[in-house]
């Protein structure tokens, strides 16, 4: 397989790249990433010299570049993760979300169609998406299934919903073999400290305020990132073209309970007195249009492909906390901006 992975320098993408490069040495992995603020090649230091791995800095919306990559590397599979991914940024500046997530995806589909059409044998376009396309649930026990109607409510989720629709349109219209997975909130190593869990860990370490939106009552379903990367591996190799798979941890938490959990775990790790970090909690103005609750029914991927999460929240968070405490340099480089010089240093000097 010659696999074009997009967004491989980001949080989830870097775990997927490492997994595929390491576990499938006979496949070629081409990582196309434009290195926005969220792209960090320090995430991939350990595998950057592997013979089956190539990094290309570039935009998924650059038709000539994507065309060239398909030609040069005889791309057979696309694993598409590149996106603008942060809801708060999408509220401030929606247009870049439309450009990257919708137009960028359309460009990848169009170039794949050009190179593959007529011979879709052994080809797959795999789009990595989010549960946020399904909208927001009330408190209770109902969950998103693969049949839940789309009802995106933020510019981010609307852009991801649009790209999902485009991917399905290429399946129905041109018979392109596609697969989509919609996953719940991820956490784990290499997570950019603008999202809830890494931001809280960073601020607890530095004794900075912990901003909790609204009353902290919103619920998210959390999945350890390595479990997501393994699900992507399983779907890439065994998923059925035309299908959608929901991925989730059956692991719902109110935000405020997560923040309390992190405060207490970090106090114990850092030898601080019990309750010290909870003092940092600061309730701030709620996010505009804040989705109340997400919850995923992941029984299809379990029943059809045999995937279940390996980590509980407790084991996954323990690994995550250890990683952030042992990788202060990564965190310092991200917060100082030094990580953005890594590409020039490693690939151009
Ligand atoms: P991320 O923001 O950490 O990484 C995104 C990556 O895409 C970065 O490396 C960035 O440089 C790259 N990128 C952005 N625009 C690009 C462009 N125009 N061309 C090429 N590369 C570009 O995101 P993430 O959290 O790793 O999410 C990856 C994918 O998974 C996204 O599609 C996201 O919607 C989806 N997803 C994320 C979560 C989550 O909890 N983080 C959950 C479900 C689905
Ligand atoms: P986030 O990590 O941004 O993921 P998403 O919005 O995609 O679910 O936010 C997770 C939850 O945490 C969400 O309900 C918003 C909330 N939140 C805070 O309360 N404070 C924060 O500083 C951030 C970043 C998020």
145: domain CATH number? Answer: 3.40.50.720
Domain assignment present for residue 349? The answer is: no
Domain assignment present for residue 258? The answer is: no
Residue 348 has pLDDT above 80, yes or no: no
Q: What is the pLDDT of residues 135-154, one digit of tens each?
A: 999 999 899 999 999 999 99
Catalytic residues: 131-132, 156
Q: Who contacts 140 (Cβ-Cβ below 8 Å, separation ≥6)?
A: none
Distance 225 CA to ligand 1 centre (A): 13
Q: Which ligand is nearest to the CA of 130?
A: 1
Domain assignment present for residue 341? The answer is: no
Q: Is 246 in the pocket of ligand 1 (CB under 6 A)?
A: no
Q: Is 87 in the pocket of ligand 2 (CB under 6 A)?
A: yes
Q: Who contacts 137 (Cβ-Cβ below 8 Å, separation ≥6)?
A: 143, 144, 292, 293, 294, 295
With cut-offs at 50, 70 and 90, classify the pLDDT of residue 349: low
Please report the pLDDT score of residue 344 as a whole number.
87
With cut-offs at 50, 70 and 90, classify the pLDDT of residue 216: very high
Look at the chain and report how many structural domains it folds into: 1
What is the pLDDT averaged over residues 207-213? 98
Q: Is 255 in the pocket of ligand 2 (CB under 6 A)?
A: yes
The token pair that represents 61 in the structure block: 């919306």
Q: What is the pLDDT of residues 76-129, one digit of tens each?
A: 999 999 999 999 999 999 999 999 999 999 999 999 999 999 899 999 999 999
Q: Is 130 in the pocket of ligand 1 (CB under 6 A)?
A: yes
Range of the domain at 140: 2-187+222-250+290-312
Please report the pLDDT score of residue 55 as a whole number.
97
Query: What is the DSSP pairing of strand 219-224 with strand 252-254?
Result: antiparallel
- Calculate what percentage of the chain has a pLDDT beyond 90: 95
Q: Which ligand is nearest to the CA of 31?
A: 1
Domain assignment present for residue 331? The answer is: no
pTM of the model: 0.98
With cut-offs at 50, 70 and 90, classify the pLDDT of residue 326: very high
Distance 196 CA to ligand 2 centre (A): 5
Domain assignment present for residue 345? The answer is: no
Q: What is the pLDDT of residues 53-68, one digit of tens each?
A: 999 999 999 999 999 9
Distance 219 CA to ligand 2 centre (A): 10
Q: CA-CA distance, 277 to 181, in Å (whole number)?
A: 37
Closest CA to 230 of 250, 251, 245, 211: 245
The token pair that represents 77 in the structure block: 């599979």
Domain assignment present for residue 216? The answer is: no
With cut-offs at 50, 70 and 90, classify the pLDDT of residue 347: confident
- Calculate what percentage of the chain has a pLDDT beyond 70: 100
Ligand 1 atom closest to residue 8's alpha carbon, by position in its atom list: 9
Domain assignment present for residue 284? The answer is: no
Residue 346 has pLDDT above 90, yes or no: no
Distance 87 CA to ligand 2 centre (A): 8
Ligand 1 atom closest to residue 86's alpha carbon, by position in its atom list: 2
Q: What is the pLDDT of residues 31-54, one digit of tens each?
A: 999 999 999 999 999 999 999 999
Q: Around Cβ 284, how many Cβ atoms within 10 Å?
A: 11
Sheet with strand 244-247: strands edge to edge: 53-57, 28-33, 2-6, 77-80, 124-130, 178-183, 244-247
Domain assignment present for residue 235? The answer is: yes
């Amino acid at each position: 397989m010659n696999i074009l992975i997009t967004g491989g320098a980001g949080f989830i993408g870097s775990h997927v790249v490492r997994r595929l490069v390491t576990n499938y040495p006979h496949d070629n992995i081409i990582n196309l990433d434009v290195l926005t603020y969220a792209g960090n090649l320090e995430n991939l230091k350990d595998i950057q010299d592997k013979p089956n791995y190539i990094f290309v800095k570039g935009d998924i919306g650059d038709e000539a570049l994507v065309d060239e990559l398909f030609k040069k590397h005889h791309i057979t599979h696309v694993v598409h993760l590149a996106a603008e991914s942060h809801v708060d940024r999408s509220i401030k500046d929606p247009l870049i979300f439309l450009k990257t997530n919708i137009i960028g995806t359309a460009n990848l589909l169009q170039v794949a169609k050009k190179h593959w059409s007529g011979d879709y044998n052994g080809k797959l376009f795999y789009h990595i998406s989010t549960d946020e396309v399904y909208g927001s649930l009330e408190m209770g026990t109902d969950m998103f299934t693969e049949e839940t109607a789309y009802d995106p409510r933020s510019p981010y989720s609307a852009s991801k919903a649009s790209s999902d629709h485009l991917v399905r349109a290429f399946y129905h219209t041109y018979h392109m073999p596609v697969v989509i997975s919609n996953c719940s909130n991820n956490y784990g190593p290499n997570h950019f400290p603008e999202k809830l869990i890494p931001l809280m860990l960073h601020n607890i370490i530095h004794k900075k305020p912990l901003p909790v939106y609204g009353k902290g009552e919103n619920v998210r379903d959390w999945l350890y990132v390595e479990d997501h990367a393994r699900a992507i591996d399983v779907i890439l190799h065994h998923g059925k073209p035309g299908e959608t798979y929901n991925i989730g941890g059956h692991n719902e938490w109110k935000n405020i309970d997560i923040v309390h959990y992190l405060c207490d775990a970090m106090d114990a790790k850092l030898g601080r007195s019990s309750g010290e970090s909870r003092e940092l909690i600061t309730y701030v103005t709620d996010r505009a249009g804040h989705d109340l609750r997400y919850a995923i029914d992941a029984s299809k991927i379990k029943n059809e492909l045999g995937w279940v999460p390996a980590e509980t929240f407790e084991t996954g968070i323990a690994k995550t906390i250890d990683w952030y405490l042992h990788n202060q340099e990564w965190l310092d480089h991200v917060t100082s901006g030094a990580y953005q010089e890594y590409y020039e240093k490693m690939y151009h000097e």
